Amino acid sequence: MTGPTARATGPTARVTGVEADAIAAAASPDALHDRAVRGFASDNYSGVHPEVLAAITAANGGHQVAYGGDVYTARLQEVFARHIGGPVEVFPVFNGTGANVTALQSMLPRWGAVIAASTAHINVDEQGAPERVGGMKLLTVPADDGKLTPELIDREAWGWGDEHRAQPLVVSITQSTELGTLYTPGEIRSIADHAHRLGMRLHLDGARIANAAAALNVPLRAFTRDAGVDVLSFGGTKNGAMLGEAVVVLDPAATQGLAYLRKMNMQLASKMRFVSAQLIALLEGDLYLRTASHANAMAARLRAGIEAASAAGSIRGVAFTQPTQVNGVFATLPPGVADRLREDFRFYDWDAARGEVRWMCSFDTTEADVDAFVAAIARETSGAG
Ligand SMILES: Cc1ncc(COP(=O)(O)O)c(C=O)c1O
């Protein structure tokens, strides 16, 4: 493959995130932050993968048509078509909330509603943007593991033709889910078939889609195109990009006016080539899988380390609340332990009322980071019953 990303993956190829931190520190020692500090708060806390940075640099210089008329955004269409199975229409955007709101808005009339798990990012972490900016109603159902099923969808899939009810016309699922769980391609296929049978469309929030592909060890198309997904929010940021996601339309009949809605929702980048170049860098080779596999492996190491230490009696009172299928570990801790751990490692409470926390791993999490954290958990829980 010739062109910008072929150049971009040259000299810096296979540099890890941590090596990149060292390179950056040598080149620019006076950063405002300590590059040695990493935690388990979010896969957004990490920096930019060096191959992505190189792709941004390679895309720099000269003039390119603004607002997506550039060669990088054109190439991106081909790259996505190869992964997802063409034809696709790809609309790069700034962030995941923007991708979700714009995608869903394009799939719905003014009277439309979206069925989603109550744990969905669109429901709990987008500040009401789907409702306020997108103007849609969310119909949510509790899902303990973050996953919808046809049966759960049926709790809200009713009332078509009733002028008093927001019309359920889209189902939105997240892969991998906000709770670090995974749908199999077959599970997505049965959701898509069910939604389509009822006259609804299927949207997939893929903020962590690369982690899912890596964990399932299948091509992206296996649980998107081949599973009946109509529109996808593709995530780059958590996968090593600086910023950049994309709305990917698999079935053009499922959307309307996306080009206009992207601008209306303030998601139309003038210098779009730099967003597109990042997504190309992730997807043209195997970078998206390398970063995601590494993050997943670090979460698996964290869980295995805690399990082993618990079995040996050196960690006490830690219980897992979800399976660890991708790059997040969810657990409950004895009272007070989370706050003591947070003196050295950042991470978030997930459900403070029941002492549940979330630990996220990233492309630049190291084995040493994980091992140090396991040792700290052992230290802080050793007195627990
Ligand atoms: C499941 C999911 N969807 C979407 C997003 C995108 O959010 P943002 O608008 O912060 O890029 C996130 C980020 O945390 C997420 O976890």
The DSSP bridge pattern shows strands 167-174 and 348-351 to be unpaired
**Token pair recorded at residue 92:** 């790069």
More confident residue, 73 or 29: 73
Contact yes or no for 318/330 (Cβ under 8 A): no
pLDDT of residue 27: 66
Q: Whose CA is nearest to atom 6 of ligand 1?
A: 96
Across 194-218, b (16+ Cβ under 10 Å) vs e yields bbeebebbbbbbbbbbbbbbbbbee
**Token pair recorded at residue 333:** 């801790």
Would you say residue 384 has pLDDT above 60? Answer: no
Would you say residue 31 has pLDDT above 70? Answer: yes
Query: How distant is the alpha carbon of residue 106 from its chain centre?
Result: 20
Q: How far apart are CA 213 and CA 219, in angstroms?
A: 6
At residue 382 the predicted structure's pLDDT band, cuts being 50, 70 and 90, is confident
Q: Which residues pair with 116 in a beta bridge?
A: 140, 172
Q: How far apart are CA 317 and CA 275, in angstroms?
A: 44
Q: Whose CA is nearest to atom 5 of ligand 1?
A: 96
Across 16-30, b (16+ Cβ under 10 Å) vs e yields bbbebbeebeeeeee
Per-residue pLDDT tens for 127-155?
A: 999 999 999 999 999 999 999 999 999 99
The model's pTM is: 0.94
Mention every residue, 6+ apart, whose C-beta is less than 8 A from residue 233. 96, 99, 100, 103, 203, 204, 205, 206, 207, 245, 246, 247, 248
Q: How far apart are CA 125 and CA 335, in angstroms?
A: 26
Contact yes or no for 331/356 (Cβ under 8 A): yes
Task: State whether the beta carbon of 104 lies less than 6 angstroms from ligand 1.
Answer: no
**Token pair recorded at residue 134:** 């997108």
Q: Does residue 189 sit in helix, strand or coil?
A: helix
| Residue 344 DSSP symbol | T
Per-residue pLDDT tens for 358-367?
A: 999 999 999 9
Mention every residue, 6+ apart, whose C-beta is less than 8 A from residue 337. 317, 377, 380, 381, 384
Would you say residue 12 has pLDDT above 80? Answer: no
Task: State whether the beta carbon of 97 lies less than 6 angstroms from ligand 1.
Answer: yes
| Residue 362 DSSP symbol | -
Lowest model confidence (mean pLDDT) among 29-43, 66-80, 96-110: 29-43
Per-residue pLDDT tens for 111-127?
A: 999 999 999 999 999 99
Give the CATH architecture of domain 51-285: 3-Layer(aba) Sandwich (3.40)
Q: What is the mean pLDDT of residues 253-282?
A: 98
**Token pair recorded at residue 220:** 């992206």
Would you say residue 168 has pLDDT above 60? Answer: yes
Would you say residue 330 has pLDDT above 50? Answer: yes
> What are the strands of the beta sheet with 201-206, ordered from one edge?
89-93, 245-249, 231-235, 201-206, 167-174, 112-117, 137-141
In the block, residue with structure tokens 């947070």: 342
Q: What is the mean pLDDT of residues 90-115?
A: 98
Instruction: For the chain, give every domain's residue range.
Output: 13-38+288-381, 51-285
Q: What is the mean pLDDT of residues 250-268?
A: 98
At residue 68 the predicted structure's pLDDT band, cuts being 50, 70 and 90, is very high
Would you say residue 1 has pLDDT above 50? Answer: no
CATH of 13-38+288-381, one of 3.20.20.70, 3.30.1490.20, 3.90.1150.10, 3.20.20.10: 3.90.1150.10
More confident residue, 194 or 7: 194
Contact yes or no for 209/177 (Cβ under 8 A): no
pLDDT of residue 9: 35
Q: How far apart are CA 350 and CA 381, in angstroms?
A: 19
**Token pair recorded at residue 130:** 């789907």
Q: Does residue 310 sit in helix, strand or coil?
A: helix
At residue 304 the predicted structure's pLDDT band, cuts being 50, 70 and 90, is very high
Task: State whether the beta carbon of 178 lies less than 6 angstroms from ligand 1.
Answer: yes
pLDDT of residue 13: 44
Q: What is the mean pLDDT of residues 280-288?
A: 97
Task: State whether the beta carbon of 325 lies less than 6 angstroms from ligand 1.
Answer: no
Q: What is the whole-number distance in angstroms between the Cα of residue 120 and the centre of ligand 1?
A: 10
Task: State whether the beta carbon of 121 lies less than 6 angstroms from ligand 1.
Answer: yes
Lowest model confidence (mean pLDDT) among 17-31, 171-185, 233-247, 255-269: 17-31
Tell me the helices (H) and strands (E) count for the chain, helix number first: 15, 11
Q: Residue 219 to residues 78, 154, 189, 232, 271: CA-CA distances in angstroms?
A: 16, 29, 15, 15, 30
More confident residue, 235 or 383: 235
**Token pair recorded at residue 19:** 């090596």
Task: State whether the beta carbon of 176 lies less than 6 angstroms from ligand 1.
Answer: no
Would you say residue 24 has pLDDT above 70? Answer: no
